[in-house]
Structure 1
Amino acid sequence: MKTDRFTYEGVPTPCYIIEEDLLRRNLELIRDVSRRAGVEIILAFKAFALWKSFPVFREYISHTTASSLYEARLAAEEFGSKAHTYSPAYTERDFDRILSCSSHVTFNSMSQYVRFYPRVEEYNRLYPEERVSCGLRINPEYSEIEVDLYNPCAPGSRFGMMASQLPDCLPAGIEGFHCHCHCESSSEALEHTLQHIEEKFGRWLSRLKWLNLGGGHLMTRKDYDVERLVAILKGLKERYPDLTVILEPGSAFAWQTGPLVASVVDVVENKGIRTAILDVSFTCHMPDCLEMPYQPAVRNAETVEPDAVKRATPEENVYRLGGNSCLSGDYMGAWRFGHPLAPGDRIIFEDMIHYTTVKTNMFNGIRHPDIAMLHSDGTLEYYRRFSYTDYRDRMC
């Protein structure tokens, strides 16, 4: 079917819609940064893993990053190349299969290295043409992330090794470092992070083959200083010419590439607060809104501070938006609309592709939004339409 990209008229709700033109815009920018800076940029599945879109991605990038066996399998089986894999703790059950799906494996601790590196040695001996490169995750004890939920370098973090925990001579087979310190961060934050990495870990960098600077580099955001990013990465390469530099953003690939389209089901009022109940749920389908928290933009509506809904007159058309679950806190807002809301009205939540599509759940058995790609010619292709059996088959 074809639909209008501004109203999505005729599309049954709820539905996540990825717009191919917007996705390609991001991919072109990321490829340009990779080429100009001389670094490799790979896709982090933790933010985006819609495998039916991988043919588009493969036109621009070659590799992906995984944090589990299932993500590593997705890389090998659906993306078509082996994963750069890191896990906080590999398990006996999964590690051998992870090896077969990975080109790089990063250990979070020295105990994990001691436990599993002999298996890497054996794998590389048996399959020299599929050799796996090993690294350690480092913690530079620095991050500009303000929300502890997303800060991997907060005091007491379970992620990575501090410089004081590393021996002067790195263990056998360690060829790289992996570091993740950012979340929707700027190029300036990366510059500051590199200063701390080089200060604390510089004596090892010249001995390594690769340095993975993790994700959180939101280079596709409008106000991101891309030229500064390129200059920072070029400078790093000049200081360490033999070092392969890798970035693994997630959100940057899918940033502002499409909405979650919902509908009003009912409008209720309590103590003067009007809430439009939708056919979607914040806790099920937009969990980061409640976790971070943040109030998403709604098309053709003005975002206002939440308490405005308590003071607004009916003529102001200010509403909370409520999810259709039984969780009391499944609501956000407020927003001001240009007209009174009524059942059947469309509510279009902007920028709802990254992280949402990988973090959704089926709490309360609420209908999961369909997932579709809006192609450049205006044709809507459904990637997945969910049903009762999807809910039933998750249970036992």
Structure 2
Amino acid sequence: MTDLTQRNDIPSPCYVLEEEKLVRNLELMKRVQDSSGARIILALKGFSMWSSFDIIKPYLHGATASSVWEAKLAAEMGKEVHAYAPAYKASDIEQLKSLVNHLSFNSLTQWQRYKDSLPDVSLGLRINPEHQEAETPLYDPAAPGSRLGIRASQLEGVDLTGIDGFHCHNLCECDSFATERTLKAIEARFEKWLPQLKWLNLGGGHLMTRQGYDVDHLIATLKAFKTKYPHLDVILEPGSAVAWQTGPLIAEVVDVVDNEGPIAILDISATAHMPDVLEMPYRPTVRRAGMPGDKAYDVKLGGNSCLAGDVIDIYSFDEPLQPGDRVQFEDMMHYTMVKTTFFNGVEHPAIAILRTDGTLDIVRQFSYADFKARLS
């Protein structure tokens, strides 16, 4: 991981995408595609930094959208556009019909309502394999009572003429063995329908770019499935894996207060700029910091909103933090920028790309006008 805290050309706060690391991930995904025969598309819900589309476009087959607005953004990549949402309004379908190549419905009623409105789109159904792999309940689409996907029992006796594919998404930052188990669960419940399909979309959650992920096993798993069902176009749509470990959020200490220990107030907010810290919750990695007690000085890192719980965690440092010090939160590209808000009117982090030659492109800085435009 690159230490960017000493670069004076990076404003604070700022998300910094490191181009070299993004290309590294994309090269690995190209290897998976070339070796397995599966195709990979970018899930915009996890990473929708459109200023990086020119980097991504040569490697992936397109993008997948969870809404009309995401579909419009995906279309700007100039490649395939896939779509899925829990429910569509008629006005959504009217806009999507000229934007998307594939569209998956969450229910039979939605498909039956809109199938005749999409004559030029390859249509699919999202299935629920009733097989759980996600460790965090908030992100488990296959949990009992889930609103996402159609169970096999609901397809019995239904004429699926016009359905080209199934879409299954039940993983969340999982390994290749979870993919293998999921494919077995799909076969166990939905095998009778697979011969009549053209494609199978395995959704996201395939964290193939994480250190220690068994890429060879993933390739072997996908090849074995393709050998058994050679007529199926197998599609993966990761979001996290594309942008995994590709860049940090740079923040700055604004003040240090004391209440049962030092508390550093930063120029970022957990709730506004890294909400998964509070929602999952999880503890982000901070460069040059350790767990409480690992180093000489413990300090609580807090955000600058008025939310009492806008606290990241307690970290330890070699030296006490002082106003003006930079703090680098690692791995902040995926499922972070896409979830930010303008809560409290807190300054929104800029967005930059650190190019492979070492130059920095600040592609977006936010202003009061951006904050005002979100309101009325």
TM-score by length of structure 1 reads 0.92
Tell me if the contact between 1:219 and 1:226 (Cα under 8 Å) persists in the aligned partners. yes
Within a 5 Å distance, the mapping from 1:293-312 to structure 2 comes to 293-304=281-292
Looking at structure 2, the residues matched to 186 and 62 of structure 1 have their Cα atoms a distance apart, in angstroms, of 22
Whether the aligned pair in 1 keeps the contact of 2:61 and 2:80 (CA below 8 Å) is: no
The answer to whether the 8 Å contact 2:5/2:326 transfers is no
Q: Match for 2:229 among 235, 240, 243?
A: 240
CA contact (8 A) 1:16 1:369 kept: yes
| Matching residue's letter, 1:79 | M
Listed as ranges, the matches of 1:49-64 within 5 Å are 49-64=48-63
Partner-residue secondary structure (3-state), 2:290: strand
2:109 corresponds to 1:96: no
Pairs aligned (count): 375
Answer yes or no: is the 8 Å Cα contact 2:5–2:250 preserved in 1: no
CA contact (8 A) 2:4 2:328 kept: no
- Distance in 1 (CA, whole Å) between partners of 2:249 and 2:111 is 42
Residue equivalent to 2:244:
255
Q: Report deviation, 1:169.
A: 5.0
Match of 1:266 in 2: 255
Partners of 1:268 and 1:193 in 2: how far apart?
Answer: 49
User: Gaps spanning 5+ residues in structure 1: where?
Assistant: 125-130
Helix, strand or coil: the match of 1:382? strand
Would the aligned equivalents of 1:297 and 1:303 in 2 still touch at CA under 8 Å? no
Q: What SS is found at the alignment partner of 2:372?
A: helix
Indicate the residue corresponding to 2:85 in structure 1. Answer: 87
| Aligned equivalents of 2:332, 2:249: Cα separation in 1 | 6
Which residues in structure 2 correspond to 1:57-76 (within 5 Å)?
Answer: 57-76=56-75
2:361 corresponds to: 381
Asked whether 1:371 is paired with 2:351, we answer yes
Quote the residue 1:153 is aligned against.
142
1:287 aligns with 2:270: no
Matching residue of 1:24: 23
Report if the CA contact (8 A) 1:221-1:255 is conserved: yes
Task: Give the distance between the partners of 1:219 and 1:50, measured in 2 at CA.
Answer: 20
Instruction: Look up the equivalent residue of 2:178 and give its one-letter code.
Output: A
- 1:276 partner amino acid: A
Give the corresponding residue for 1:207.
196
Contact 2:256–2:323 (CA under 8 A) maintained in structure 1? yes
Residue 164 of structure 2 corresponds to 175
Superposed displacement of residue 197, structure 1: 0.7
- The reply on whether 1:45 has 2:44 as its aligned counterpart is yes
Change (3 A) 1:348 1:4: closer
- Equivalent in 105, 114, 117 of residue 116 of structure 1: 114
Structure 1 CA distance for aligned equivalents of residues 282 and 3 of structure 2: 28
Asked if the contact 1:82/1:101 (under 8 Å) is kept, the reply is no
Kindly report which structure 2 residues correspond to 1:179-190, keeping only aligned pairs within 5 A, or say none.
179-190=168-179
Amino acid at match of 1:197: I
The offset of 1:383, in angstroms, is 1.2
SS in 2 for 1:206: helix
Q: Answer with 85-94 or 364-373: which moved more.
A: 85-94
Correspondence 1:346 to 2:326: yes
Give yes or no for the alignment of 1:330 onto 2:328.
no
Q: Deviations over 1:37-78 (max 9, x none)?
A: 0011000000111111101111211211001000111111x2
C-alpha separation in 2, matches of 1:87 and 1:67: 5
Q: Which residue of 2 aligns with 1:278?
A: 266
Checking the alignment, whether the CA contact within 8 Å between 1:72 and 1:82 is kept in structure 2 is no
Output the amino acid matched with 1:75: A
Give SS of 1:21's match.
Answer: helix
Read off the aligned partner of 1:287 and give its amino acid letter: P
Q: What is residue 356 of structure 1 aligned with on the other side? A: 336
SS in 1 for 2:90: coil
How far did residue 171 of structure 1 move? 2.1
RMSD of aligned residue pairs (Cα, Å): 1.5
**2-side partners of 1:332 and 1:75: how far apart?**
33
SS of the residue corresponding to residue 156 of structure 1 reads: coil
Could you give the per-residue CA deviations for residues 249-286 of structure 1, whole angstroms, max 9, x where no partner exists? Answer: 0000000000000000011111x222111000000000
| 1:167 Cα offset (Å) | 2.8
Q: Provide the secondary structure at the position in 2 that maps to 1:372.
A: strand
CA contact (8 A) 1:4 1:378 kept: no
Pick from 223, 227, 242 the counterpart of residue 216 of structure 2: 227
Look up the match of 1:218: 207
160, 165, 171: which one aligns with 2:154: 165
Shift of 1:223: 1.0
Shift, 1:9, TM fit: 3.3
**Cα displacement (A) at 1:234:** 0.3
Q: Tell me what 1:127 maps to.
A: none
Q: Does structure 2 retain, via aligned residues, the 8 Å contact 1:99–1:105? A: no
Cα displacement (A) at 1:207: 1.2
Once the two structures are TM-superposed, the CA of residue 5 in structure 1 deviates from its matched residue by: 4.2
What secondary structure does 2:111 align onto? helix
Distance 2:93 2:356 in 1: 41
